[in-house]
Structure 1
Amino acid sequence: MSRRIAVSVAAGVVVLAGAGAYALAYAGEQPPALTHSAARYSAPAGDRDGSLSFTTGVTASSGIKSVKVLAWPATSSLAEQKLTAVDMAAAERAVCTPAGKHTVHCTYTTTVTPTDAASSPHGAWHIGVLAEANNGTTTLDNEAAGFTVR
């Protein structure tokens, strides 16, 4: 009887070790995680250009390959269709700096000229973000942050 118990315990240890290895491998393939995303829009005033700034933290155990950012008006067709990775292919890259072992802090800033502001739809806007990890996994957040154009 004690031999049966020993065999059962050994089999249980093998199963648990295999499950643990699978969980650890699976955890390594998790897509990038976005945290603390925020946008700030300043309209042009007088002779001064305005700006749009977006910041986010991105974490991935394999490291971050790229972070792309796209601002889009809430009244556009993207509100119904949602952004795709294909839409984000031509988006501009954020500049990322290390902020921990597996985390980077990314910033995207662009100038908003008076002409840009005059030709842009007023109202709510969203920031779409595509983060790609070194292992090829991606995260697409259609509405990582928002701002208002007045």
Structure 2
Amino acid sequence: MTRGMALSVAVGAVVLVGAGAYALAYAGEQPPVLTHATARYSAPDGGRDGSLTFATFVTASSGVKGVKVLAWPQNSSLAKANPTAKDMAAAEPAVCKPYKRHTVSCTYTVRATSREVEASPRGVWHVAVLATARNGTTTLNTQAANYTVR
């Protein structure tokens, strides 16, 4: 190998290592990513309560600190200005369990009594999700999933 080729290989290796370090640092600052979000609603029937179950996978390279969930009716004041991160501060947390490296499986379940459903608006409801990574970055999806109350 000539001296010039050796120098080119050395410079190339330094560039690759530097680019890899930059990519890792940049990846660490990425906000959490939500995937496979679903909502399942079952109405109360007879003397049995209904429920809403929301599930999603959340991936964050720094790890997931927390996930908050808020169900809101399409025909409400929130429809004019979707829920904000501030609105989500009072939302309830989902239960998250490790799934894969940097990914957790999160589930939120709430009972729906006949009385609550009768007092609730009918029609389409949206599920808003605020995911927070350990590095402080957040992702807010105001319509991560939908369901219908009849």
Q: Same fold by TM-score, threshold 0.5 exceeded?
A: yes
Give the root-mean-square deviation of aligned CA atoms: 1.8
3-state SS of paired residue (2:80):
helix
- The structural deviation recorded for 1:20 is 3.5
Displaced runs of 4+ in structure 1, greater than 3 A?
Answer: 2-20
Tell which deviates more after alignment, 50-59 or 71-80.
Answer: 71-80
Residue matched to 1:32: 32
d(CA) in 1 for partners of 2:30, 2:101 = 16
- The structural deviation recorded for 1:26 is 0.6
Segments of structure 2 that go 5 or more residues without pairing to the other structure are none
- The structural deviation recorded for 1:96 is 0.6
Q: TM-score, normalised by structure 2?
A: 0.89
1:101 counterpart letter in structure 2: R
Residue matched to 1:98: 98
d(CA) in 2 for partners of 1:13, 1:148 = 56
Alignment of 1:139 with 2:139, yes or no, is: yes
d(CA) in 1 for partners of 2:12, 2:133 = 35
Q: Percent identity of the aligned residues?
A: 66
Instruction: Describe how 1:1-150 pairs up with structure 2 within 5 A.
Output: 14=14, 17-150=17-150
Segments of structure 1 that go 5 or more residues without pairing to the other structure are none
Q: TM-score, normalised by structure 1?
A: 0.89
Tell which deviates more after alignment, 19-28 or 101-110.
Answer: 19-28
Aligned length: 149
